[in-house]
Amino acid sequence: MRLYRRLLVFLRPHAGRFAGNIAANVVGAALDVIAFSLLIPFLNVLFHTGIGIPQDKGWVTTLLNWLLGALLDERRPMQSLEGVIVIIVGMVALKNVFLWLGGQFGASLQERITRDLRDAVFRHMQRLSLGWFSRNKTGQVMARILTDTEQAKAILAEVATKSVQNFTQVLATIVLLVGLSPRLALISLVIAPLITLTIYPILRRLRTGHRKLRNDYGEITSVLQEVISGIRLVKSFGGEPYEDQRFTSASGSYTKGMVRITRIALLAGPLTEVLGTTVAVLVLWFGAKQVFATPAQIDPGTLISFMILVMRLLPPLKQLSQAPTTAQQSLAAAERLFEVLDEPTEAQKDKGTRDIVGLSSTIAFEDVGFSYGTDAPVLTGITFSATKGDVVAIVGSSGAGKSTLVDLIPRFIEPTAGRITIDGADTRDIKLSALRAVTGIVSQDTVLFNDTVRANIAYGAAQRFSQAQVEAAARSANAHEFIAQLPQGYDTVLGERGTRLSGGQRQRIAIARALLVDPPLLILDEATSALDTENERLVQEAIERLLAGRTVFVIAHRLSTVTHASQILVLDRGRIVERGRHAELLAANGPYARLHALQNGQRP
Ligand SMILES: Nc1ncnc2c1ncn2[C@@H]1O[C@H](COP(=O)(O)OP(=O)(O)O)[C@@H](O)[C@H]1O
Ligand SMILES: [Mg+2]
């Protein structure tokens, strides 16, 4: 129920279309039963009860009189009936115009709601913390945004739109049934509670089944995403059979779940049909008794129309009884969507109120500790401070916690112990947006978006920077030269489907990006660890220009940046085990000296 109410929020902006859909369907259903009631005069002719309109049928009589009174003439039955045929055809055509209109409203309603859901989930997802992204697999996240929104739409397609149509149809038919014979109508209406009672237990099992199914589908997407993005690894290690097995297993589990659910869901239709037919036959039996009674309590024409009406009630009833089945599937998907939407965004969790524009004196770590989830702490007792303009180098073996340490600065993650201050203010008291605006990051894996060179350099702020500014940044980053040689210069499209760049070129684009934004605090996380020697000189030069006038945290080993750093922190298993300047640390002949020797020894 709560889920329905939350989905209704997405319906609200489109209330007009929804109303249009209902109105068109109501008119359509009314026209449908009216067209049907026009058959009664025909039946009366067949059963030799005259062509007249039955006189004792309440509003049905009134309606028929109004529509056909002038047309029917006992003395010329065939001509009369020809007139009726024209009216019937007209009515049916009109009914279909309305049903088509209703369909139009319904279709645009569904698609717009799906779009709104998709957009809302995407917007929200982007703003969730890094922690959320490392807890959730990419494939699962993609499945939520792409397929779960499609599935959630079905609830509106089936339940809101089709059910409105079916329900009005059923309602209009019942009104006519009661008009024709209240007693028979009463008998035939026992069908409704019977159907509800049989269907209900089925529904409860479907919901859980569908939820598991959505998850299985996410697993398929996950394997797919991992294989596509890691295809080189798969190929080089001959991992194809392993991936085949992972994929078939996920795919098989999905199929199994689907078959199980379908088996349950398929019960709804036959059950309805058997129950419905039983009721129809009951009506026939009871009606026949009334026809044979003396005096006859019902005329054969009415009984036949009644029977046909009851049979016509079955398809919409069947669809109505299946609607909750479809709804379970949608609700399972909606649940997964709302799970994302319920996760508070970084901005919602942010308690910071201070604004900062840069660093004026010091940034300090005070006894900072951090652990991912419940695992052992990754960082313990980190204490150091840096003055404006300092270059702090962080070295240590892989897994020592270097990246984790720098991720704390822009609050990608927050300390679980101690605090980090910028000019004396706890970073948690600083607005997240302000904090992110003063920190720039260049890391090992440069992400290039499928866009032009210019848009990639001025990422997310193409309007804010002029071509001259972009070009100046590119020149400082030693990137202008190779960009100028690209087929369309700064308009060349990069990224997965665009021009490929070498590792060093990508790095220089990333440096240009940082130079353009000009952040007072800069983090370089192994920005140059995967370069060849030729590129290294160009990148090194670019980096030196980038460092000038900034407070920098640099994670690197082979750089002269480290050698010249104002402070080197040696990290081992989350603790600072040594600190000082390059020459001091070499002289001390401790962990830094050993790391240095190791790295120099490994150099080609
Ligand atoms: N998102 C994460 N969730 C759980 N553990 C993590 C996560 N990121 C890193 N770790 C763990 O934290 C430790 C430090 O990682 P990291 O800071 O990346 O090291 P470094 O950058 O020095 O190589 C490693 O043991 C790593 O497995
Ligand atoms: Mg790292």
Which is higher by pLDDT, 69 or 180? 180
Is pLDDT above 60 for 602?
no
* Alpha carbon of 404 to ligand 1 centroid (Å): 6
* Alpha carbon of 230 to ligand 1 centroid (Å): 20
SS3 state of residue 268: helix
According to the model, what pLDDT value does residue 85 have?
86
* Alpha carbon of 549 to ligand 2 centroid (Å): 25
According to the model, what pLDDT value does residue 106 have?
87
* Alpha carbon of 244 to ligand 1 centroid (Å): 29
Is pLDDT above 90 for 578?
yes
Give the nearest ligand 1 atom to 407 CA.
Answer: 17
According to the model, what pLDDT value does residue 8 have?
83
136 lines ligand 1 (CB under 6 A): no
According to the model, what pLDDT value does residue 141 have?
87
**Least confident residue range of 6-20, 178-192, 383-397:** 178-192
604: confidence class by pLDDT, cuts 50, 70, 90: very low
- Assigned token pair, 116: 């709104």
Cis upstream peptide for 415 (omega within 30°): no
- Assigned token pair, 355: 């604004």
Element (H, E) at 557: none
400 lines ligand 1 (CB under 6 A): yes
Nearest residue (by CA) to ligand 1, atom 7, is 372
Q: Which of 133, 372, 572 to mutate to test the pocket of ligand 1 (most atoms within 8 A of CB)?
A: 372
pLDDT (average), residues 471-495: 91
134 lines ligand 1 (CB under 6 A): yes
Is pLDDT above 60 for 204?
yes
Highest mean pLDDT, choosing among 147-156, 532-541, 565-574: 565-574
Is pLDDT above 70 for 55?
no
411: nearest Cα among 430, 390, 398: 430
Q: Which of 130, 380, 403 to mutate to test the pocket of ligand 1 (most atoms within 8 A of CB)?
A: 403
According to the model, what pLDDT value does residue 496 have?
66
With 0.85 as the threshold, say if the pTM is over it: no
Q: Position 197: which residue type?
A: L
For 208-218, write each residue's pLDDT tens digit. Answer: 788 888 888 88
412 lines ligand 1 (CB under 6 A): no
How far is residue 533's CA from residue 556's CA, in Å, rounded to a whole number? 15
Q: Which domains are assigned to the chain? A: 2-347 (1.20.1560.10), 362-449+516-602 (3.40.50.300)
Strand residue runs (E) in 388-480: 391-395, 417-422, 425-426, 439-443
Which is higher by pLDDT, 531 or 226? 226
319: confidence class by pLDDT, cuts 50, 70, 90: confident
* Alpha carbon of 346 to ligand 2 centroid (Å): 23
According to the model, what pLDDT value does residue 603 have?
45
Which is higher by pLDDT, 71 or 185? 185
For 412-456, write each residue's pLDDT tens digit. Answer: 999 999 999 999 999 999 999 999 999 999 987 778 888 899 999
- Assigned token pair, 597: 């020797």
Q: Position 308: which residue type?
A: I
Give the nearest ligand 1 atom to 400 CA.
Answer: 22
599: confidence class by pLDDT, cuts 50, 70, 90: confident
Give 379's DSSP letter.
Answer: E
101: confidence class by pLDDT, cuts 50, 70, 90: very high
Strand order in the sheet with 521-525: 439-443, 521-525, 551-555, 391-395, 567-572, 575-580
User: What share of the chain has pLDDT > 70, as a percent?
Assistant: 94
pLDDT (average), residues 135-155: 85
According to the model, what pLDDT value does residue 468 have?
93
How far is residue 497's CA from residue 419's CA, in Å, rounded to a whole number? 43
Give me the chain's average pLDDT, please: 86
For 255-304, write each residue's pLDDT tens digit. Answer: 999 999 888 888 877 877 787 788 778 888 888 888 888 777 777 777 88
Which is higher by pLDDT, 390 or 237? 390
How far is residue 265's CA from residue 546's CA, in Å, rounded to a whole number? 63
Q: Which ligand is nearest to the CA of 407?
A: 1
Strands 362-370 and 551-555: unpaired
The 3-class secondary structure across 109-132, one letter per residue, is HHHHHHHHHHHHHHHHHHCCCHHH
406: nearest Cα among 514, 246, 523, 282: 523
367: confidence class by pLDDT, cuts 50, 70, 90: very high
Residue partners of 493: CB distance under 8 A and separation at least 6: 450, 451, 452, 499
Strands 391-395 and 379-387: unpaired
| Cβ neighbours around 443 below 10 Å, total | 17
Is pLDDT above 80 for 307?
yes
Is pLDDT above 70 for 583?
yes
